[in-house]
Amino acid sequence: MSFFDRLREAATRNGSLLCVGLDPRPDRFPDEVLASPDPILAFNRRIVDATRDLVCAYKPNYAFYEAQGLEGLRALRGTIDYIGPEIPVILDAKRGDIGATAEAYAQAAFEVWGAGAVTVAPYLGGDSVLPFTAYEDRGVFVLCHTSNPSASELQTLRCGGEPLYRHVARLAGRWSECGNVGLVVGATYPQALREIRELAPETWFLVPGIGAQGGDLEGAVAAGLRPDGLGMVINVSRGVCHAPDPRQAAIAYRDQINAARRLPSQAPEGILSRPGGTSRDGLILDLARIGAVRFGSFTLKSGATSPIYIDLRLLASHPDVLGRAAQAYADLLAGIEFDRIAAIPYAALPIGTAVALQTGRPMIYPRKEVKGYGTRRAIEGVYHPGERAVVLDDLISTGESKVEAIAPLVEAGLVVRDIVVLIDRESGGRETLSAQGYRLHAVLTLRQILDLLVQQGQIGEEQRAGVIEWLASE
């Protein structure tokens, strides 16, 4: 059986996603353990005996054994032998090197120590990971977004227009040719956990940060659980090993995890509907929360009365939501070939700037009014005729204003094929653009927004029907 087959079997058999970290600290051992001829092994055996039927895995941290010299290393091997094959063992060694060194590290982890899986740092790229994945029956957990406070110093740096941890998550999928790569994602960063689950829907996550580090257990489970109720190995070390009663502590953690697994939010739609996410549903709830989507009676520029008003200019005053919207735009843009973003004034200017920062692509914008002084330019920013410009705006109704905004871009020699908006009001704009030879890409449609707000109880079905009827009559 592969490592992840054995992990799934253990999690199912014990009804648990709890992983107990075996991090021995002799200065905290009870007197009866210290009196043993092999205190470290005696301590670990005590923990394993108390929790064997409560866990899906054990995770010894190599550093604590190495720190005790040869005695500690002998205890490590004795501990893994004592656990046996029924419960998977993840050796937390965080290896990261290349060539013959990486091969030696892999040999040590799997052949010398007998671990079922090992943690690996990907900073040196695939060369530092593939010697481990070559052991097809063993697991490799790649550090993606760790639980420590300074994780953001490197792991959130922009790389190709997105945080580095998202890039690592995608690379890990390529490295997993044998299906034996998982990811380390800390419970202390539930937003990152949610994003990575969307990028890697089937991958097993090793999740540190619960217990002494203060991670939100319920939030982590909601963000990271797969639809099948599996996919997470939730590690607790000190909270179990050094508890007055390790068995009772493990039971408490297992039960808390299982209670979170049973919440409605374990389903994909529940995960997406949590405010603060970068998903479609999370973004909708964010927009409603900040008042960018409102219901009532509103007089539009045309003089018509509308039962709904969408004001995406408010995004500029809510940088957290603006950032999530920018990421949603960036996800759409990933499938489009373009050289520059052309943001349409005025609502799309702050959005376009955020997207440019997110993607690392330059932004230009066509002026609504050409100045009668200075450069008298119709398009602000640097561009060259023949370049491809993707037009970005906040929303689309009939599409007529988009055609008008595209005209000066085309006159300047830019090539325009695609228009990207956050919201399609479904008022004929897609058809208008298509007739002109343009493609519309929308993060959200108005009906998607209405459907979710009904589902979440924020508006009634009758109110939704009223907006839909009004749209049909426009």
Separation between Cα atoms, residue 85 and residue 69, nearest integer Å: 26
Give CA separation, 319 vs 124, 193, 324, 337, 404, in Å. Answer: 33, 20, 9, 27, 29
252: Cβ contacts below 8 Å, ≥ 6 apart:
none
Among 345, 355, 340, 362, smallest CA distance to 412 is for: 340
Decide: helix, strand or coil at residue 35.
Answer: coil
Considering the candidates 94, 301, 368, 371, report the single residue annotated as catalytic: 94
* Amino acid found at 297: S
Separation between Cα atoms, residue 289 and residue 398, nearest integer Å: 26
Separation between Cα atoms, residue 410 and residue 181, nearest integer Å: 47
Is 301 annotated in the active site? no
Separation between Cα atoms, residue 245 and residue 247, nearest integer Å: 6
Give CA separation, 358 vs 348, 395, 456, in Å. Answer: 15, 19, 30
Separation between Cα atoms, residue 55 and residue 59, nearest integer Å: 11
Among 5, 7, 78, smallest CA distance to 39 is for: 78
Residue 86: count of CB within 10 angstroms of its CB: 11
Separation between Cα atoms, residue 22 and residue 59, nearest integer Å: 6
Write b or e for each residue in 418-448: b if 16 or more Cβ atoms lie within 10 A of its Cβ, otherwise e. Answer: bbbbbbbbbbebbebbeeeebebbbbbebeb
Structure tokens at 265: 């939010």
What is the β-pairing status of strands 57-60 and 18-22?
parallel
Separation between Cα atoms, residue 204 and residue 118, nearest integer Å: 13
Separation between Cα atoms, residue 235 and residue 16, nearest integer Å: 11
- How distant is the alpha carbon of residue 378 from its chain centre? 40
Q: What positions carry a catalytic annotation?
A: 94
